[in-house]
Amino acid sequence: MAAFVLVPGFWLGAWAWGEVGRELRAAGHEVHAVTLTGLGDRAHLATPEVDLDTHATDVIHVIEYAGLHEVILLGHSGGGMPVALAADRIPERLARVVYLDSAPLPDGMRQFDVHPPHAQEALEKRVAGEGEGWRIPVPAFADVSEDPVNLAGLSEADLALMRARGVPQPFAVARQPLRRSRRGPVPETLIACTFPEEQVRQMIAEGHPLFGGFGDGLQVVALPTGHYPMFSRPVDTARVLASLA
């Protein structure tokens, strides 16, 4: 049996792993779902100073204070950045790092940099106008038709839950560059959801910056669905994770 530490992406908290966690625990695994500072039930701790280092420290503390070893550490979406940073700092605690429709990004790159210039400008305007200058507002999550790729497979109940529990994301997390030390090699797995597996492998082979932070020997697993597989395919997500143990 394995110890899983699950880190959600932007706007989400530990609550997002409810069904996945239940499936893994039913199979006998230990599960620690993380709520990063300023999000979910820790929304009251949000400040403009919450950044990538803050969130990496959150992940490290969950592992260290629970006394965990041989951890399978997973980062979903934007949660992949603090997971990558944590993995560099405590590799001796980890058995594997899993990126769920995510990637560690290359050294020196920011989450903000994955957007083209026009999208960066639009995001900065939203942060300034709706997020008091330091928070990324929660997406509308109104209907799958508004974003059929990322929201694929989500029910109206899923969308309603995301609207109700989503919390604005501290912008400093997205704007801090990832600085990696590569202190120790930890096996990595990419679970590809919104990109077909063949396309992911081609992008990696071509050196696409989105996947430029992976080390050698990356394992790629396909789980075709939208960007939120913990809601759209929770049982299958748990089964893929269990297979990594």
Mean pLDDT, the chain, as a whole number? 95
pLDDT at 207: 85
Q: What is the mean pLDDT of residues 158-187?
A: 92
Structural domain spans, the chain: 3-244
Q: Over 60: is that where the pLDDT of 183 sits? A: no
Torsion of CA 26, 166, 34, 131, to 10 degrees: 170
What are 1-32's pLDDT values in tens digits? Answer: 899 999 999 999 999 999 999 999 999 999 99
Provide the whole-model pTM.
0.96
For residue 22, the model assigns a pLDDT of 98
Q: In degrees, to the nearest 5, what angle opens at C-alpha 203 toward C-alphas 199 and 207?
A: 170
pLDDT at 193: 98
Question: What pLDDT, on the 0 to 100 scale, is given for residue 52?
Answer: 98
For residue range 82-128, list pLDDT tens digits in order. Answer: 999 999 999 999 999 999 999 988 889 999 999 999 999 999 999 99
Q: pLDDT of 23-73, one tens digit each?
A: 999 999 999 999 999 999 999 999 999 999 999 999 999 999 999 999 999
Superfamily for 3-244? Alpha/Beta hydrolase fold, catalytic domain (3.40.50.1820)
pLDDT above 70 (res 184): no
What pLDDT digit, counting tens, does each position of 187-219 carry?
999 999 999 999 999 998 888 888 888 888 899
Q: What is the mean pLDDT of residues 129-146?
A: 96
Q: Which residue has the higher pLDDT, 215 or 235?
A: 235
Place of tokens 């394995």: 2
